[in-house]
A and B are shown apart, each in its own frame.
Chain A
């Protein structure tokens, strides 16, 4: 597609671009690291330092529209030199307004502090022991067949059960969680920004919310010596006890935010392992390079492609001034290919000295709380899959021959990743 053709494209309705949005990002970059696209007046930030400066500035930029973006339905116009009052009065009406990523300080600080108490380094290490066992159990289910849909049969149940363990979902209930996540068919996915038209759904996953409400009520009434009791009785940093629904929301948020994105990361990793036998060989031989493989995949195949901010007051991004009430789209997926930060940005390299400095998890106070979890999941899954499967290949039957592959991606601009990944392999 030529540059002129992109001029006519409203990105937020251009589902045909979402499988490979990178040429469009380069079109944006040609206009500069910060550019107001003409269709909706959204300021697109593709530059790395420019994105970091916005991530950092929670005073002048609000996260109220982090998910809703250009579809945020404000009942009144955003006018004047400070729209903070309008934001406070109407933010509850925006999509995902009850979820942590859309909060601003000081509310965000309190809720994020609560979340940090749930996923401490100590808890993560206990959780990792579970990951090794779980990876083997999921592999047991598919190993003899010599083929699988890696997304539905490994990545989905693996990531959801890891979070279930982290949050202390009782053993007896886990099968039900497994079924709940497994039964979601390929086409049923409606993650953020996720319908055909790029619109966003409101308040997903009632199942989780209902479950965690019950768990928290039970444990507060009848505390036990378990992880769920820790979740139910965890306090805000100021020592106050959150309302039941606040805890349930944070737990549900950890599932929705952590599951969907990590599934796409795993899919991208094993797509590359299947496409690149040479890389697969390197990783088998030099296991210590797996963390770099995870980071480079996060950089090049960033699952969460974008997020939004709203300027509260007049701001400058890069060198450009914008008024209060401007919708800003941060594109970590594009910033991760900023040649000023990552030389030869489109090349997959395991030895980048700054390979961990990508923005796939965001930056500053809103950066992904589940990042250490996702990194561990990706590492453990790769270790066990390489141990137990030889010669992992892309299924030609499902995806076509090398050089003419067909891959289906989620039809959303915010989350990019494979709908399914059919792999062939030889049991080790």
Chain B
């Protein structure tokens, strides 16, 4: 499982961080806009459910959990 995010469309809402804090963190740009940072690009199996919830709940739908 691999985490892919589309930063061009990320609004920095922080939903992913709330759902899967070990996988995602929201960081502030110098200009003040927040965006997601992936902490674990290949999260362990026990975080699968959290990561999938983050994918599903992202309001801008910028997260993809890819199986490879």
Contact = CB atoms under 8 A, between A and B. Distances in A.
Contacts, number: 67
Contact of B15 (A119, A125, A364, A369): A364
B2 interface: no
A23 interface: no
Given A56-B57, A365-B59, A369-B59, A121 B32 contact: no
A363 B35 contact: no
Nearest to A364: B57
Contact of A121 (B19, B35, B56, B58): B35
A376 interface: yes
B61 A372 contact: no
Contacts of B18: 52, 357, 363
B55 to A, nearest CB: 11
B15 A122 contact: no
B13 A116 contact: no
Given A357-B14, A361-B13, A363-B18, A121 B33 contact: yes
A372 B34 contact: yes
Interface in A352-369: 356-357, 361, 363-369
Contacts of B9: 116, 120-121
Contacts of A121: 7-11, 33, 35
Contacts of A234: none
Given A361-B13, A364-B15, A369-B11, A291 B57 contact: no
A237 B61 CA distance: 11
Contact of B59 (A124, A291, A357, A367): A367
B23 to A, nearest CB: 16
Given A120-B9, A372-B12, A365 B57 contact: yes
B28 interface: yes
Interface string A281-302: 0000000000100000000000
Interface in B1-30: 7-15, 18-19, 26, 28
Interface of B: 7-15, 18-19, 26, 28, 31-35, 53, 56-61
- Which 3 A-B pairs rank lowest in CB-CB distance, beginning with the nearest? A364-B57, A367-B59, A116-B60
Interface of A: 52, 56, 109, 112-113, 116, 119-122, 124-125, 128, 237, 291, 356-357, 361, 363-369, 371-372, 375-376, 379
26 contacts: A56-B19, A116-B11, A119-B11, A121-B7, A121-B9, A121-B10, A121-B33, A122-B8, A124-B33, A125-B31, A125-B33, A361-B13, A363-B15, A364-B15, A365-B56, A365-B59, A366-B59, A367-B13, A368-B13, A369-B11, A371-B13, A372-B12, A372-B13, A375-B34, A376-B33, A379-B32
Given A52-B18, A371-B11, 5 more contacts: A116-B61, A356-B14, A364-B57, A365-B58, A365-B59
